[in-house]
Structure 1
């Protein structure tokens, strides 16, 4: 990560050697027929040049399709994450570098000047300029019909909204009233802070620029209730379901839902090239085939996927290695970045008043944690290759301390029983299960998204661990959208998911994953919604430790040095570990990455996680290619 104490300018590209531009055969006919400009006219004046030999990779060849398996239509959102075109992004070493931007300047972590690439175009050939930022700011974020609460909280510092200005057609500036050190990291996120949209396309769905008659026609045609719903549906880039929406990503969607197969094709105006003048990506197409989550491992093992990471986990590794002998596949093991491969999340905002009170008592969370036999989980589910740990940062992080991993992570049923007795749960009923204050059996329904066999396998062991201390666990599988909606509504008692997303943070990365900041945080979704909405939705935290985490996060946002940030991280990690807001089990588990045997430039060893690597994104899948048969 880059520390910025004063004005800093970073350039993204190296000089391209004198060479003939290499037109993709995929576009050759369109160029010849005059339906598309030749490559030099489609690229920015200063494209981002990827020097593959300098990265230890080989120069690729253009062409080919890649098949991937996904568990549902919603997973089309994986493509923008894998493609990972961002204003700034992380490289394989987790350094921030300009990508879509040609350069940026940061002064005092407060004033950010962003320089676009002159001549850069959207996938439909229209110019990408400062006007796309202005439209997003003026006509969307500051339009009460579209953003009822005003600009997002990520653009507010100390209660003051950022000042936005257009300097020239390829330069914009964001000026915060106080330091905003995580502004650039938010632009590099898997789901980035969106500052721009293709305004020439989006204006047709905006009441300011479109006639009421045409808007009414479009509203009916797209089956939405009003123009606001129309604008949101047609401009949804994070979940690319509109093939007409221009993009800056490496591949553009060509399929609208519903469908069982989604096709993405190379973007003719993509801004990256390799060092010999070939426009990236190397692959022409990405094809996502929808399959049931429980058969993705089997389909992968029979060669029905050319590149697969999602839908498979370490328990599938043996199957994949066997498949190498029968199909032209190659299996690698990357290191997962989550703080825990499987975590339990007691919902401190659940509707049930008895369980809400219990879950908000730290003794309950500690009791549940020490009741778990992590050694058994590691041995049975990970062949002993994982690390038995609380849900915290990994040893690969400079912020790691052993005490974080060890906090309330020992297997100690006697301690668990004492803590549960202290809570007043001393009476037991049938099967030795404790009785709640209202006379009910102490049974917890743990809900899953139904996408991971590993979660279920781990939970089946935990069922026995909890029964030994008088707590009954029942497993309920659901679907992701329903599951998260139920959690937000307080209908979920406890859920299972991976632990903190970024287990390899630096001090300069925001510690917001440790505080109630987002509605998708399963242990406190209502409190997270309150923070995310700038205190306009959800409920304010009423638990002192949760309020303290938010206060520390606010302090971090006002820092100007890495040392200050590291100290605040330490305080938050200590509090997080002691309070056991997420009950971790095992981390650092290997993640199988399966690819076609002739696919090149896929790292043999790397970090795998949603953040900071955006799964495959930081390793630039646009540079993956097929060797000749």
Structure 2
């Protein structure tokens, strides 16, 4: 059975007229390097059938090469944004969230069980080495099945009901993954902002692998990098999502040229990038991105004083008025996109916290519902967001076909009386002289809410919630923490509750994995230990013992084994119903707005869009490689 998505994939690659390619070669941004003999001509750098992006058909204007974009990042780790913005994937979403072949020339699937991938003839990595089936074989056999490099085993997305795929190389440009049961998640994971990696530049990475490198040379490399184990070396050199190794070949539109440590990273165009516009001009249009590391707290001020040409990370809605005013003094524009998260901010009670008293209380749905009912979301919306958001539970947005009003309205009515009654029923009826409830062990009922403290928005909202909870006998204490420590502290049970975003993907279709609604990852702050158990195939963490959480995992398994669209939609609805009714995440408001600042010289940037990590990869699905700079604008 060939689905509609596959038909779209087959149409994504078309033969390109040689005459137009020759004309485009005359406008090659890298022509000087070609003349010096440092690069082959354009026709030898592109695949035989490059992916043609019809810019005009997207309602935009074909551009030209040139220019540099400056942007600010909060730490060196944020260079991963370029991997997300560039959004080169084996298969990827378009603006309407349809899947297309991208790096792949085409693909076919049979009943979501058998996936056959066809590579583009002549496609090359950024260092000019060919992309072939060997790069997929190396990743599968020598990395994913190597205990030293993949101690957790084969990625969860590739294991269906305990079964890993059968991998076959049919020829140099054709490969196949097959399961006996459906794997509807496979293509979606390849299209993700942090994609499932199934191909690696083997010609480069084999020098760091004990199977292929001489022992003496490997020891010398380990000494040079000050590492003890070859697996550590390979993992460091192979990291593609956070591209810290400038020598690692990539398929992205821009490649990092700056080694660590650094305060400024320069990403230059990939001379072998596989996309062209309808006139044969190789993409990307923009020559380079320069990312400068700054204190997160200073990014809004710096962006508003002309130090950035393109900024969304590090700025928030509270900065909008200041940034908009900068339009009067600097050549920048500021627009607003709708965020895709299920809740702009959410309180996440850690059901795996180590506190022996708070853990059973937070696992009591009456407590979670009470904490939600005590919050006046209307006041938060008006006071903090100027009434521009929608009061809602942490759930999907109206833009999703899975949206239902009862999910959005679950336990969000401001009802302190009901909240008090539920807390009394949960065994917290006794109070001290200040009206604060007394825990079973005699302590005051104080909840420490941890926040990364990267925005005043978090603390502004928490100050309001402090007052709401005080009225129902719960004391709230705010603790700021570093984002990087959240995960380890949560898994260790040190966090009782945190404030973070809601579900990442608020605009899902039934074909997208509903795993965000179940304990499936150790960075899900409401159940990190259960999530760790899931991703480690039971080797680490603990399996959930709370019936609704167990049911969510059972439904997720049913979705993953289904090849029926109606059944997948039904699973989504059941999971959304459980997730919102059980208040596993205390959502506040959604449909919030994200300010985006960009230079007035930037062309083809959409005035409106959906901004989020998943599924739009921030700007990725809008094809940043088609943005261009008009000098003198």
How many residues in Structure 1 have an aligned counterpart in Structure 2?
628
**Conserved? CA contact 2:86–2:254, under 8 Å:** yes
**Cα distance in 2 for residues equivalent to 1:513 and 1:28:** 47
Cα deviation 1:563-608 (Å, max 9, x = unaligned): 1111111111111111000000000011111100121111001100
Residue 159 of structure 2 is matched in structure 1 by 156
Match of 1:133 in 2: 136
Structure 2 partner of 1:92? 95
Q: Say if 2:231 is the partner of 1:245.
A: no
How far apart are 1:220 and its partner, in Å?
Answer: 1.8
Measured in 2, the distance between the counterparts of 1:31 and 1:454 equals 51
Contact persistence 1:50–1:274 (CA under 8 A): yes
Change (3 A) 1:435 1:222: same
State how far apart, in whole Å, the 2-side matches of 1:188 and 1:208 are. Answer: 30
Structure 1 residue 5 displacement after superposition:
9.8
Is the counterpart of residue 546 in structure 1 residue 549 in structure 2?
Answer: yes
Matches for 1:176-325 after TM superposition, within 5 Å: 176-325=179-328
Q: Is the 8 A contact 1:134 1:166 kept in 2?
A: yes
C-alpha displacement at 1:30, in angstroms? 1.4
Equivalent of residue 604 in structure 2, options 590, 601, 606 = 601
Cα deviations by residue, 1:240-272 (Å, 9 ceiling, x for unpaired): 100010000011011122211111111000001
Picking from 46, 57, 63, the partner of 2:66 is 63
- Provide the C-alpha distance between the structure 2 equivalents of 1:284 and 1:399, rounded to a whole number of angstroms: 40
| Shift of residue 9, structure 1, vs aligned partner | 5.9
Is the 8 Å Cα contact of residues 48 and 272 (structure 1) preserved in structure 2? Answer: yes
User: 1:4 and 1:547, CA in 2 relative to 1: closer, same or farther beyond 3 A?
Assistant: farther
1:39 aligns with 2:42: yes
2-structure distance, mates of 1:204, 1:451:
40
TM-score (norm 2): 0.97
Residue 492 in structure 1 maps to residue 507 in structure 2: no
Say yes or no: does 1:530 pair with 2:498.
no
- 1:14 to partner: Cα distance: 3.8
Q: Secondary structure at the match of 1:102?
A: strand
1:343 CA displacement: 0.3
Identify if the C-alpha distance between structure 1 residues 262 and 574 changes in structure 2 by more than 3 Å, giving closer, same or farther: same
Task: Please list every run of 5 or more consecutive structure 2 residues that lacks an aligned counterpart in the other structure.
Answer: none
C-alpha contact 2:6 2:100 (8 A) present in aligned 1: no
Q: Secondary structure at the match of 1:160?
A: coil
Q: CA deviation at 1:452?
A: 2.6
Q: Return the alpha-carbon distance in structure 1 between the equivalents of residues 618 and 455 of structure 2.
A: 17
Match of 2:78 among 59, 65, 75: 75
Aligned mates of 2:176, 2:370 — CA distance in 1: 50
SS in 2 for 1:79: helix
Q: CA deviation at 1:21?
A: 2.2
Rounded Cα–Cα distance in structure 1 between residues aligned with 2:321 and 2:8: 48
Please say which of residues 194-203 and 137-146 is displaced more in the overlay.
137-146
How far apart are 1:109 and its partner, in Å?
0.7
Cα distance change on mapping 1:65 and 1:6 into 2, 3 Å: closer
Contact 1:7–1:106 (CA under 8 A) maintained in structure 2:
no
In structure 2, the CA distance between the partners of 1:462 and 1:3, relative to structure 1 (3 Å rule), is farther
RMSD of aligned residue pairs (Cα, Å): 1.5
In structure 2, relative to structure 1, the CA distance for the partners of 1:455 and 1:171 (3 Å cut) is: same
Of 571, 574, 577, which aligns to 1:568?
A: 571
Q: Write the distance in 1 (CA, Å) between the matches of 2:371 and 2:561.
A: 36
Seen in structure 2, the aligned counterparts of structure 1 residues 31 and 576 have a Cα distance that, compared at 3 Å, is: same
Match of 2:523 in 1: 520
Give the secondary structure class of the aligned counterpart of 1:49.
strand
In the aligned structure 2, how far is the partner of 1:365 from the partner of 1:4?
42
Asked if the contact 2:284/2:626 (under 8 Å) is kept, the reply is yes
Shift of 1:451: 2.1
Residue 380, structure 1, aligned to residue 358, structure 2? no
2:358 counterpart of 1:355: yes
Shift of the 349–396 alpha-carbon distance from structure 1 to 2, 3 Å rule, reads same
Whole-angstrom distance in 2 between the partners of 1:505 and 1:95: 11
Partners of 2:498 and 2:228 in 1: how far apart?
33
Judge conservation of contact 2:3–2:109 (CA < 8 Å) in 1: no
Give the conservation status (yes or no) of the 8 Å contact 2:28–2:282.
Answer: no
Residue 10 of structure 1 corresponds to which residue in structure 2?
10
The equivalences for 1:430-509 within 5 A come to 430-509=433-512
Instruction: Kindly state the Cα deviation for residue 8 of structure 1 after the two structures are TM-superposed.
Output: 8.6
In structure 1, what is the Cα distance between the partners aligned to 2:379 and 2:156?
Answer: 43
In the alignment, does 2:402 pair up with 1:414? no
Distance 1:594 1:52 in 2: 23
Rounded to whole Å, the distance in 2 between the matches of 1:23 and 1:114 is 33
CA distance in 2, matches of 1:236, 1:307: 25
Q: Deviations over 1:253-302 (max 9, x none)?
A: 11122211111111000001111111111111111111111111111111
- Whether 2:336 is the aligned partner of 1:333: answer yes
Q: Deviations over 1:23-72 (max 9, x none)?
A: 56642221101111011100001000111001100011101110111111
Whether the aligned pair in 2 keeps the contact of 1:370 and 1:411 (CA below 8 Å) is yes
- Of 119-128 and 426-435, more deviation after overlay is shown by 426-435
CA change 1:466–1:39 in 2 (3 A) is same
Moved over 4 A (4+): 2-9, 23-26
1:133-177 CA-to-partner distances (Å, cap 9, x unmatched) read 000011111122222343112111111111000011111100012
How far apart, CA to CA, are the structure 2 residues paired with 1:7 and 1:165?
A: 23
Q: TM-score, normalised by structure 1?
A: 0.98
Distance 2:264 2:4 in 1: 45
Q: Is the 8 A contact 2:165 2:177 kept in 1?
A: yes
Please state whether the residue corresponding to 2:52 is helix, strand or coil: strand
Match of 1:583?
586
Judge conservation of contact 2:14–2:50 (CA < 8 Å) in 1. no
Task: Confirm or deny: 8 A CA contact 2:348 2:497 kept in the other structure.
Answer: yes
For the residues of structure 1 that align with 2:105 and 2:434, how far apart are their CA atoms?
Answer: 66
Quote how far apart the aligned CAs of 1:390 are: 0.3
Structure-2 change in CA distance of 1:92 and 1:4 (3 Å): closer
> Any conservation in 1 of the 2:16–2:49 contact (CA below 8 Å)?
no
State the alpha-carbon separation in 2 of the partners of residues 97 and 404 from structure 1: 31
Q: Indicate the residue corresponding to 2:559 in structure 1.
A: 556
CA distance in 1, matches of 2:88, 2:564: 28
Q: In the alignment, is the contact (CA less than 8 A) between 2:80 and 2:242 conserved in 1?
A: yes
Per-residue Cα deviation, 1:210-258 (whole angstroms, up to 9, x for no partner): 1121111111211222001111011000111000100000110111222
